[in-house]
Structure 1
Amino acid sequence: MTTAFAALREMASGRAWPVIAVSAAAWMLAIGLDHSVLIPTLCSTTAAAGWTGAAALAATLSINAWTGQAVSWLVMLLAMMTPLLWQPLVHVWDRSLAERRVRAVALFLGGYFGGWMLAMAGLTLAAVALRVVAGSAVTAFAIAVAVMVVWQMTPAKVLFLNRCHALRPLPAFGLAAEVGSFRYGIQIAAPCIATCWAIMLLPLTAEAAPGVMMAMTATLMLSERYSGTPPFNPAAWMQTHGVAGALRHRN
């Protein structure tokens, strides 16, 4: 958590302050919005008790206003993900000609958030399905936590996290420069989605205090991105602190 706040402080005090300004504005909007809009409403309280499987899933999807869901996704992404783009945004700005810097940043953000919006649609559908199959919000959230913990312990998580820092060459002139900025946004979004998908399931499945869960997951992602250390591995933490050995000795 210290790393997360240190990164935010450095961004806010330097030329990356617009990143923090956009994120702060999105957080204020998130707080001001009704949570049923901010966090997708996953289940109807009036659904028939006997509905199960595909019928329950179809009914759940039909009662949600997907335009409102798209707004909620965008607000979530602007609040949580914008600080993660500090390094690639500076890269795009520095590697673009002065007359096209703003356009280059806009194209990069279009590629990045466009990719994440598609991912959020898939994650929301997964959260809906998980809620229907689990039968309760508490069980669905517990499953999402278990999935996140398992994903944190995989080598693939570290691989994708490292790729989030990739600074690729960008064309300087003509159509190639425009396409390159947009493509770079997608290239950064892809490993970011692969890294964070399990963490993002938590606020999507949390029924109680979803705003708090958003803040917690955003802090975790920010710490992972800028700490320079591998993601939190529960098994490694237990071994380091002697918890696993104590449990084996006790048994």
Structure 2
Amino acid sequence: MKLSKYSKLSINFIIISISLLVWVLLLVNPGNIMTMEHCHVSASGPSAGSLKMLLEMNPFSSQLLGWGLMVVAMMLPKLIVPIQLIHMQSLKRNRFLNALLFVLGYVLIWMVTGVFMIAIIMMLNLLLPMSYLPALGFMIVAIIWQFSPIKQQCLNRGHEHWTLSAFGWSAKRDAFVYGIYHGLWCVGAGWALMLFPMLLPTGHNLAMIVVTIIMISEHMEHPQLPRWNFSLRLKLIKIIIAQSRIRLQQLVTV
């Protein structure tokens, strides 16, 4: 079964619109959900009092909400192809629910990951408040991971397409489990890139945009042999440049 052009455009429009709306919310940053307020560390170093103050100034629930919004904004465009696949395999009356269950399974994995990520971020902010050293350290880790064979294997597994059951709870279960597995491979591929912007004392919004472009670009690449590969994987940027040149040539011609 082939997806119609109208259905494909509708799915693309809905997903990209939701992603852009969440991006606007993140940039507005209501309640400082995307930034971490810092407290002064005592002369003797981090203490229970400093930790308590840090948690009061940055409630874990607010940080987790910000993490969830960041996941939706950055990752939702990566789910266009799997959601199109689910749309093709599902009965018409089940398409929305199956797609929603897939997204919920995917986001669930990232939210569980977020608990550990936020704990790391808070610990580093307690030890080194307003320091760029943690971000620099994880940037090095992210660069090493970016070109590693394990990263490539995770990217390859992220291209796996599942065959869903057609009827009943089996179809819903398959969609949800598909989302979980897809989320696991996405976390394996992108955990270091996702953590880096959150560790920056300033400029995290710009870093998030750059990371989003990188993650979408690498997801658009074809599977490759897992090995150390120093490829920048900038397919999205290449497409944008090529399309811009075509539009510019059309304008000049007119």
- Normalising by structure 1, what TM-score? 0.80
Matched, 1:84 2:70: no
Give, in whole Å, the separation in 1 of the partners of 2:202 and 2:22.
21
Per-residue deviation, residues 75-111 of structure 1 (Å, max 9, x unmatched): 1111100011111111111111101111101111110
Match status 1:30 vs 2:26? yes
Q: Deviations over 1:127-172 (max 9, x none)?
A: 2223344565211111111111111132100000111111011111
1:137 aligned counterpart, secondary structure: coil
Alignment CA distance shift 1:145-1:174 (3 Å): same
Q: Is the 8 A contact 2:110 2:187 kept in 1?
A: yes
| Cα distance in structure 2, aligned partners of 1:44 and 1:73 | 18
SS of the aligned residue for 2:20 comes to helix
Match of residue 46 from structure 1: 40
- SS of the equivalent of 1:236 reads coil
What code does the residue aligned with 1:153 have?
Answer: F
Q: What residue ranges of structure 1 are gaps of 5+ in the alignment? A: 1-10, 239-251
Could you report, residue by residue, the CA deviation over 1:164-188 in whole angstroms, capped at 9, with x for unpaired residues? 1110111111111111111111010
Query: In 2 relative to 1, CA 229–100 (structure 1 residues): closer, same or farther, beyond 3 Å?
Result: closer
8 Å CA contact 1:200–1:217 kept in 2: the answer is yes
Query: Who is 1:102 aligned against?
Result: 96
2:61 aligns with 67
- Is residue 2:177 matched to residue 1:177? no
1:149 to 135, 143, 164: 143
CA distance in structure 2 between the partners assigned to 1:165 and 1:234 by the alignment: 19
**Alpha-carbon distance between aligned partners in 1 of 2:47 and 2:142, rounded to the nearest angstrom:** 24
Which whole-Å CA distance do the structure 1 matches of 2:45 and 2:91 have between them? 58
Most deviating of 124-133 and 200-209: 124-133
Structure with the bigger RCO (C-alpha within 8 Å, sep 6+) is 1
Of 193, 196, 206, which residue of structure 2 is paired with 1:199?
193
2:13 is aligned with what amino acid?
W
Alignment gaps of 5+ in structure 2 = 1-6, 233-254
Matched, 1:236 2:230: yes
Could you list the structure 1 runs, at least 4 aligned residues long, displaced by more than 6 angstroms after superposition. none
Instruction: Give the SS at the match of 2:33.
Output: helix
Q: Residues of 2 paired with 1:95 and 1:237: CA distance?
A: 34
Aligned runs of 1:219-234 on 2, under 5 Å? 219-228=213-222
The answer for the alignment partner of 1:121 in structure 2 is 115
Decide whether the 8 Å contact of 1:56 with 1:132 is kept in 2: yes
Q: Percent identity?
A: 25
Q: Which residue of 2 aligns with 1:249?
A: none
Residue 44 of structure 1 deviates from its aligned partner by 2.8
Matches of 2:161 and 2:223, distance apart in 1: 19
Asked whether 1:211 is paired with 2:205, we answer: yes
Change in Cα spacing, 1:228 to 1:53, as seen in structure 2 (3 Å) is farther
Query: Secondary structure in 1 aligned to 2:188?
Result: helix
* Cα separation, partners in 2 of 1:158 and 1:234, compared to 1, 3 Å: closer
CA shift for structure 1 position 58? 6.0
Letter in 2 for 1:51: G
